């Protein structure tokens, strides 16, 4: 099997693109290798060459073979994941995690992929752990199924799903990254696109606009119906309130590209300092104060617009600007805070949440 990857690596070194089948075969081999050298060479070579949508498609298909499938009673048209690539240049508080609770406060189920912080001051999984939700413990197919069908929102870490948490190549690569070998790979670009839960619509924030087109092509090849990919041109992987945002919208295989400003969608322009991540502890406080309607400044605004994007592609509103008003109403009515309480009561430690609420002066 290992000999099969050698001509593929040679092809990459010659700046030749791989077919989806070649990429699938290469990643399957790289995943199985204990030392992790093939995964390092393959992923570094692809990104240095310029990764294509077919190569990312092969990566996703290799993941699909080892993902445990989670069959839900919920229709695939009514499920969304708002996680993206992560890795933005500017480090912000947990915008998409906060937005996930507003999105789930209406008739939309949210299957939120999370992870612990790698380059920032607090990842989504760090936040959940602080408020009493152990996402590692939740990362089991039956547990994910039970929670999302009962509560309407669940957070999990794909890397801890059965089978994925035993892949030698990925484990070794993770160790290399901990040791300081850090670079962009197909894993960073597309791992969150692979999902054990079938869905037809996605939001996907991207850390660098140069990857927007290739990822849009990938979503099309994976037969998604409605997708909103975006990159804050100021350096964040969210729809931005501190500058312009480039968006690629996919609707029934039609692709539109446009740029929006905060004023276009009914929010105030802010400064980076207004939404900057300060510490993991402050991230929790900001998260709780937004959901409970106490924070009314730029942090709330950026969460509103990223929630609005989900309402837009899920056909709850006709425009993102209209979605901002819906998100604002859901916060004001306490529905997002109630959804958080419901999730922690069902799958977490309510004492930890209440402790943080006191710290946040709620």
Q: Is 361 left (phi over 0), alpha (psi -120 to 50) or beta?
A: left
Right CATH number for 2-64 from 1.20.970.10, 3.40.50.261, 3.40.50.11060, 3.40.50.300? Answer: 1.20.970.10
β-strand 201-205 against 226-232: which pairing, if any? Answer: parallel
Residue 338, both tokens = 């109630």
- Residue position matching structure tokens 């004023």: 263
Specify the pLDDT at position 88. Answer: 85
Tens digit of pLDDT at every position of the chain (362 positions) = 567 788 999 999 999 999 999 999 999 888 887 767 888 889 999 999 999 999 999 999 988 777 888 999 999 999 999 999 988 889 999 999 999 999 999 999 999 999 886 656 678 999 999 999 999 999 999 999 999 999 999 999 887 787 666 677 666 666 665 545 566 788 889 989 988 999 999 999 999 999 999 999 999 999 999 999 999 999 999 999 999 999 999 998 899 999 999 999 999 999 999 999 999 999 999 999 999 999 999 999 999 999 999 999 999 999 999 999 999 999 999 999 999 999 999 999 999 999 999 999 99
Sheet holding 109-113, edge to edge: 79-80, 109-113, 153-156
pTM of the model: 0.94
Q: What pLDDT is stored for residue 173 in this prediction?
A: 63
Q: What is the DSSP string of 85-98?
A: ----SS-B--HHHH
CA pair distance 15, 48, nearest whole angstrom: 9
Q: Cα(195)–Cα(60) distance, rounded to whole angstroms?
A: 9
Supply the pLDDT for residue 122: 76
pLDDT at 3: 72
**CATH tag for 76-161+196-345 (out of 3.90.550.10, 3.40.1030.10, 3.30.70.1230, 3.30.43.10):** 3.40.1030.10
Q: Identify the pLDDT of residue 115.
A: 84
pLDDT value of residue 223: 94
Query: What is the reported pLDDT for 295?
Result: 95
Structural domain boundaries of the chain? 2-64, 76-161+196-345
Q: How far apart are CA 149 and CA 15, in angstroms?
A: 46
Distance spanning both ends of the chain, measured CA to CA: 58
Q: In sequence order, what are the residues at sequence separation of 6 or more whose Cβ sits closer than 8 angstroms to the Cβ of residue 117?
A: 123, 126, 280
Contact at 8 Å (CB) between 68 and 34? no
Query: Comparing C-alpha atoms, which of 318, 270, 294, 341 is closest to residue 104?
Result: 341
């Amino acid at each position: 099997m290992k000999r099969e990857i050698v001509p593929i690596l040679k092809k990459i070194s010659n700046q030749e693109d791989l077919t989806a089948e070649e990429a699938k075969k290469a990643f399957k081999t790289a995943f199985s290798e204990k030392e992790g050298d093939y995964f390092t060479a393959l992923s570094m070579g692809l990104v240095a060459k310029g990764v294509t949508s077919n190569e990312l498609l092969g990566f996703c298909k290799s993941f699909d073979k080892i993902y445990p499938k989670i069959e839900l009673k919920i229709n695939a048209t009514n499920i969304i994941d708002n996680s993206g690539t992560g890795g933005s240049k500017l480090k912000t508080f947990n915008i998409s995690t906060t937005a996930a609770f507003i999105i789930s406060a209406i008739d939309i189920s949210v299957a939120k992929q999370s992870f612990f912080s790698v380059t920032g001051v607090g990842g989504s999984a760090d936040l959940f752990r602080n408020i009493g939700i152990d996402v590692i413990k939740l990362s089991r197919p039956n547990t994910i199924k039970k929670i999302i069908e009962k509560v309407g929102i669940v957070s999990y870490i794909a890397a801890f799903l059965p089978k994925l948490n035993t892949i030698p190549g990925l484990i070794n690569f993770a160790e290399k990254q901990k040791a300081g070998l850090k670079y962009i790979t197909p894993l960073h670009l597309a791992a969150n696109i692979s999902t054990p839960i079938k869905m037809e619509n996605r939001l996907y924030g991207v850390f660098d606009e140069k990857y927007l087109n290739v990822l849009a092509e990938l979503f099309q090849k994976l037969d998604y119906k409605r997708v909103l990919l975006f990159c804050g041109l100021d350096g964040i992987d969210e729809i931005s309130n501190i500058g312009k945002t480039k968006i690629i919208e996919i609707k029934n295989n039609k692709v539109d590209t446009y740029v929006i400003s905060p004023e276009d969608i009914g929010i105030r322009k802010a400064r980076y300092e207004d939404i900057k991540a300060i510490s993991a502890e402050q991230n929790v406080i900001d998260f709780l104060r937004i959901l409970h309607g106490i924070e009314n400044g730029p942090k709330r605004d950026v969460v509103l617009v990223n929630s609005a994007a989900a309402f837009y592609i899920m056909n709850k509103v006709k425009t993102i600007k209209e979605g901002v008003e819906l998100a604002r109403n859901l916060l004001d009515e306490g529905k997002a805070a109630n959804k958080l309480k419901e999730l922690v009561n069902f799958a977490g430690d309510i004492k930890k949440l209440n402790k943080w609420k006191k710290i946040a002066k709620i």
